[in-house]
Amino acid sequence: THWNFDRVREAARARWDAALGRVAVEGGTQAQRVVMASALYHAQLAPTLLSDDDGRYPGLDGAIQRAPAGAAAYGSYSLWDVYRAQLPLLTLVAPERSKSFVDDLIRQTAESPFGPLVWPLQGKETGTMIGWHGVVPIAEAQAKGIPADYAAAWPAIRRRSFDFAAPDKDNSLGRDLYDAKGYVPADKV
């Protein structure tokens, strides 16, 4: 709404001060506290906002979708890398942000032709890694009491889990072998 860079910088500084101030560190050296603050900063850089100001975003189903009013869609989840540590950390230090992420994960799981998310990037499912890492942050948020419509994700999770004819990415690293043998032979993928 204005072109005053100093005001924008101060507003950004205030937002980062609030985000980083959620964790207080007592003790340790100055260098250790800098490492902690840097790690907490890095943990809050992604996922990145994908939806436009009016809520529109490129959906995993290939159509332009619209997030509900007050909600957002995110990209750059890199779920293989973050489902074990970064996203669980955010449920503790930024539960309102986790709520926004889990609502989006549920919505994108339901809209994706492939069901549970593996590694969505800018509105496309890359299928880059094995597993469905998008299910873990949903389950963790539910276990930690973050309110969401968890049942909305279940049909897609059930289909991916039990319907072997459900669509899958070509690069899903051995799903056909797993379905046939119950494991993925290391010499085949």
Mean pLDDT by 10 residues, the chain (189 residues): 93 95 92 94 93 95 94 91 91 93 95 90 84 90 95 94 78 67 79
**177: closest CA among 166, 161, 165, 188?**
188
pTM of the predicted model as reported, rounded to 2 decimal places: 0.84
pLDDT of residue 175: 66
DSSP-derived secondary structure for 136-150? HHHHHHHHTT----G
With vertex at residue 116, the alpha carbon angle to CA 52 and CA 86, rounded to the nearest 5 degrees, is 70
pLDDT of residue 78: 87
pLDDT of residue 182: 81
Report the alpha-carbon distance of residue 20 to residue 17 in Å, rounded: 5
pLDDT of residue 71: 96
**Which superfamily does 47-181 belong to?**
alpha-1,2-mannosidase (1.20.1050.60)
pLDDT of residue 70: 94
